Structure 1
Amino acid sequence: MSFSSVDSVVALPSSARRRWTVRPWLVRAHRWMGLTLAGVLVIAGLTGAILAFDDELDAWLNPALFRATSGAILPIDRLIVSVESHDPRAEVARIGFPTPSRGSVLMTVAARDPAVSLGYDQVFVDPASGQILGQRDSTGCCLAAPVLVPFLFRLHYTLGIGPAGERVMGIVALLWCVDCLVALCLTFPRSRPFLGQWRPAFGIKPTRNSFRLTFDIHRAGGLWCWVCLLAVAVSGVALTLRTEVFQPAVQAMLPVTPDRDAPPTPPSEAIGFTTALRQAADVAPGRRPADAHYLQGAGLYLVAMAAPERGVWTGLGPDIVWIAARDGSVLRIDSDARRLSGDAVLALQYPLHSGRIAGLPSRLLVSALGIAVAVLSLTGPWLWWRKRRAASAVRR
């Protein structure tokens, strides 16, 4: 049965007529969501394609910051002293341990006096000698080699406009999730057999008609990538609207371990990174520290402990040990063996979105998906513009 004529639609039972009269509304929804989101998704797609290999790009652009001498890593307290004695105005708030791409230790610093501007927030330290290799302001703009990768990350995550931009990206990700579902429905055939009629939507017909070719690329590209695109969109919601939307939604369906904050601790009373790392090593034997973060306002040290044989964010990522800054007590351990089902869903989102989940193959896939997002976001408005121009010509 064909639905291409008015008579055939009128001849349908009332339930079928109601079902197919929804289609114009879906077309309008897809059109206006696509036009509204296109610019942002082009930016997000292209930057995401690059950021799938951010460490490697950063190391290539800034070899002086990333290369270090070989040898055993010095005690972490000596490295902290090296940084803080170099500039007494600064205190270390986060430590990133060496990675395959970065031989140096990356220390994020903050001013002891909030009224003071350091002019930088990251210090790179040789782990074997304690020498300061360099520093940079990761909030800097825009295309200079030292700040290019941090700038691309901010552009991808917040459009470069801070917390307000993060909310914008979260809303864009939510609308993108809806648009993915709407777009899929629009590819469904209007007659049976369903699979037989749907199959042509996955192909690109050879033609010299640029409109038809672009339409096939837009539709087939979206269908072939649909599952991955929806996963990236959902994980985008998780990373930008975690506490507002994603975590409450997960908690409504699956068990999630509640967060635990400790009383705020003045820096003078905190146990320090050395003790926190020792505590983490005791409860996560056989793992190496990958990252340690002091959250003064929450009274916590968060220490990421990774398996030596795999990438930090492979699978569900590293074990995260929550340590009270005041007394060093272990408040919580997020690990594969201890995570509840909801915890696993939450932990999955960053490795999935960044492409780290399965090493190089998944990073290549995410990079390709970023390009696909940009192509789909550009071809959609182009098709709308061509149809609008054609309609205007007919009216004349």
Structure 2
Amino acid sequence: MSLTAAATPVSAQRRISFKPALVWLHRWAGLTLGLLFVLMGLSGALLVFEHDIDAALNPHLFHSATACAAPLGVDAAAQAVQAQWTKAKVGGVFLPRHEGGSLRVTFKAPGMETGEAMLDACTGALLGSRDRSAIGLGAQYWMPMVQTWHLNMFQGKSGRLAQGYIGAAIALLLAVGLYLAWPLKRQWRRALRIKLNQSAYRSHYDLHRSIGLLAALPLLLLALTGFYNGLPEVVGGMVARIADVGAERRSIARPALKKDESAISWGEAQAIAAPYLQGGATMAGISRQPDKGLYIARLVRADDWQRTGTLRIYIDMRSGKVLEAIDPLSGKAGDRFLAALFPLHSGQLGGTAVKWLLALAGLLPALFFITGITTWRLRRKK
């Protein structure tokens, strides 16, 4: 017997054993990651409409009590919060998203690590406050809790990193499932057919496979963009290998502001960023980072992909000098690609129809988890 003839059965055996190995991987990855996938999907479906749901649950927080021609200045908004919490460190002031909306101020204070205060945009009166990391039964805590779970499972930075790796693992689970469900000889009509008047095993299998084929690509998109949200530096480095990407923006910083060192005010930072309000751009808000010696103004372009704005102006807190204006939508191909990932994941890119499609996609992991388990159990019985 020749060496070639002897090797052929081994090669064939390897090809035969390849698919069962993938079936095993898909089954046990689904059983171990399935519940997480379900919770990610359900929370993500809610977060597509996060602002609308939050405003409906807490109308007193999102609507100013009085009407006026122009909202309160950012200086006055920061001072209003510090009058309420004398030891507060204000981190950001965000302007109303719509006419008659409230001002939102983020801050840290003793006992409130991620404080959020809503102010009347005309008078600066406090409409309400909450700690976004708190767990509570009140309606004001519901959407922040959903968002915190979705971002980091209540585990802070380490949880966010874990979510990135979970997103990659779910993407692998979906890719293996898509490979296993892919119809041979392009028999798509048969692959997408769901016959409920047959054995329970076959009906459950058809549901799992057919809907999986239809939904695999949108769910893969959500999993991979979730991978980016948890590990932006890793994904940014990967994209930089194949496309042009601008300089690393997280490195922009100045020495930390000392305790008694003078700095420009919130209002001055707003005025410095004002010349960039061109072509229909609006001011979304300003954040203050004394540990990096920076103010960062966030502007929303008329054609922006993100409701909180992608155009950012970095301002030196000491001198008021504009260090850099970051506009990824007008940047290199890699910058535009990276700037699209979060809006794609959150449903901000594409309009209302895309939001509803993403919300529906967020419900499907529950269907796959249930039909996956029932198919497995019914097959074992057979």
Give the paired residue count: 369
Cα distance in 2 for partners of 1:162, 1:336 equals 27
**How big is the shift at 1:62?**
1.0
Q: Could you tell me which of 304, 317, 320 is aligned with 2:312? A: 320
**How big is the shift at 1:371?**
0.5
1:274-285 map, 5 Å: 274-285=267-278
Aligned to 1:287: 281
In the superposition, the TM-score normalised over structure 1's length comes to: 0.85
Q: Does 1:62 align with 2:58?
A: yes
**How big is the shift at 1:131?**
1.1
Change beyond 3 A, Cα 1:168–1:384 = farther
Q: Does 1:330 align with 2:319?
A: no
The one-letter code sitting in structure 2 at the alignment partner of 1:269 is S
The one-letter code sitting in structure 1 at the alignment partner of 2:18 is V
1:1-396 map, 5 Å: 18-68=14-64, 69-71=66-68, 72-100=70-98, 103-111=101-109, 116-118=110-112, 121-190=115-184, 194-196=185-187, 198-243=188-233, 245-257=234-246, 258-259=248-249, 260-266=252-258, 268-285=261-278, 286-307=280-301, 313=306, 317-335=309-327, 338-388=330-380, 390=381
**How big is the shift at 1:16?**
6.2
The one-letter code sitting in structure 1 at the alignment partner of 2:345 is H
Change beyond 3 A, Cα 1:142–1:87 = closer
Change beyond 3 A, Cα 1:119–1:163 = closer
The one-letter code sitting in structure 2 at the alignment partner of 1:265 is L
Deviations 1:214-239 (A, max 9, x none): 21121111111122111100110100
Change beyond 3 A, Cα 1:189–1:326 = same
2:297–2:312 contact (8 Å) kept in structure 1: yes
**How big is the shift at 1:306?**
0.9
The one-letter code sitting in structure 1 at the alignment partner of 2:67 is S
Aligned-pair identity (%):
30
Cα distance in 2 for partners of 1:137, 1:109 equals 9
Cα distance in 2 for partners of 1:173, 1:283 equals 36
Cα distance in 1 for partners of 2:326, 2:317 equals 18
The one-letter code sitting in structure 1 at the alignment partner of 2:175 is L
Question: 3-state SS of the aligned residue for 1:21?
Answer: helix
In the superposition, the TM-score normalised over structure 2's length comes to: 0.88
Deviations 1:120-140 (A, max 9, x none): 711110111111111111111
Deviations 1:144-187 (A, max 9, x none): 20111100111111122333322322221111111121111101
Change beyond 3 A, Cα 1:224–1:122 = same
Cα distance in 1 for partners of 2:169, 2:218 equals 16
Question: 3-state SS of the aligned residue for 2:241?
Answer: helix
2:294–2:317 contact (8 Å) kept in structure 1: yes
Deviates more, 1:145-154 or 1:158-167: 158-167
Change beyond 3 A, Cα 1:118–1:177 = closer
Cα distance in 2 for partners of 1:120, 1:29 equals 40
Question: 3-state SS of the aligned residue for 2:168?
Answer: helix
Cα distance in 2 for partners of 1:385, 1:325 equals 62
Cα distance in 1 for partners of 2:100, 2:46 equals 17
2:347–2:354 contact (8 Å) kept in structure 1: yes
Change beyond 3 A, Cα 1:318–1:247 = closer
**How big is the shift at 1:281?**
2.0
The one-letter code sitting in structure 2 at the alignment partner of 1:251 is A
Deviations 1:78-130 (A, max 9, x none): 2222221222211311122212498111100113xxxx334871111011111
Q: CA RMSD in A?
A: 2.5
Cα distance in 2 for partners of 1:101, 1:387 equals 58
Change beyond 3 A, Cα 1:336–1:164 = closer
